[in-house]
Amino acid sequence: MTSNIQTVLKCQKLVKEYQVGPESIRVLDELDFVLHPGDWVSVVGASGSGKTTLLNMLAGLDLPSSGHVFWGQEDLAKLSESKLGKLRNRHLGFVYQFHHLLAEFSALENVAMPLWIQGMNKKQALERASQMLQKVGLLKRVTHKPAELSGGERQRVAIARALITEPALVLLDEPTGNLDSDTAKEIQQLLQQLNEQLHTAFIVVTHDLNFASLAKQTFHLQGGKLHSSEIEAIA
């Protein structure tokens, strides 16, 4: 199970500005946001609206111009790179549009990698990785390398890797963007099942409104603000 903390993530008056010549562009404008264990939030918005910038802020990969991002009680801006890296490895998972798997390693080894980084012994890590690959329906493909897997299978491996450390939160940036529609639906259904089973919080950035409609809450990012949005699946 994931961490039992009552607040996974909190933003307070989060601002991100970029300087373009003499002009200051505010991409994120005083966002306030709270995420609890098991929440699934989707963020939709036009290209360039700041969706990926928001994920980078929440992950501590970029610092806000002002405001705060808290993981539990930790203010990310006040952490050293070393401590931030350890927290990120233990409490945060990532899934991107491109799987970012290591080509020379098997599916099993790719999933076990975060546990090895944490210092877990090889046998125990591989056993945990095998169990997670079973959860995502890939137990029969554990020895295959990424080039031997389909696009949907590679994304299942990426999801298993993101979840292997039992993180409190997984950030997903267009996780089905590179998949055909049928495979995308399979991955979306898988994510829904895992969210319910593992009680891991998800924040999903997507342009797919059907995918966004699966979330417990959907926000439209526009003009630097998050607007609560009701989205119905399109038949």
State the CB neighbour count (10 A cutoff) for residue 209: 15
**Per-residue pLDDT band at 1 (split at 50, 70, 90):** very low
For the segment 115-174, what is each residue's pLDDT rounded down to a tens digit?
998 889 999 999 999 999 999 988 888 999 999 999 889 989 999 999 999 898 999 998
Q: Give, to the nearest 10 degrees, the angle between helix 122-135 and helix 107-118.
A: 130
Contact between 99 and 146 (Cβ < 8 Å): yes
pTM: 0.86
**Per-residue pLDDT band at 232 (split at 50, 70, 90):** low
For the segment 95-104, what is each residue's pLDDT rounded down to a tens digit?
887 778 899 9
DSSP string, 68-111: EEEETTEEGGGS-HHHHHHHHHHHEEEE-SS----TTS-HHHHH
Domains, the chain, with CATH or none: 38-64+91-229 (3.40.50.300)
| 3-class secondary-structure state, position 192 | helix
Amino acid 2: pLDDT: 43
User: Could you give the CA distance from residue 35 to residue 20 in angstroms, rounded to a whole number?
Assistant: 32
For the segment 59-98, what is each residue's pLDDT rounded down to a tens digit?
888 889 999 999 888 898 888 888 888 888 888 888 887 7
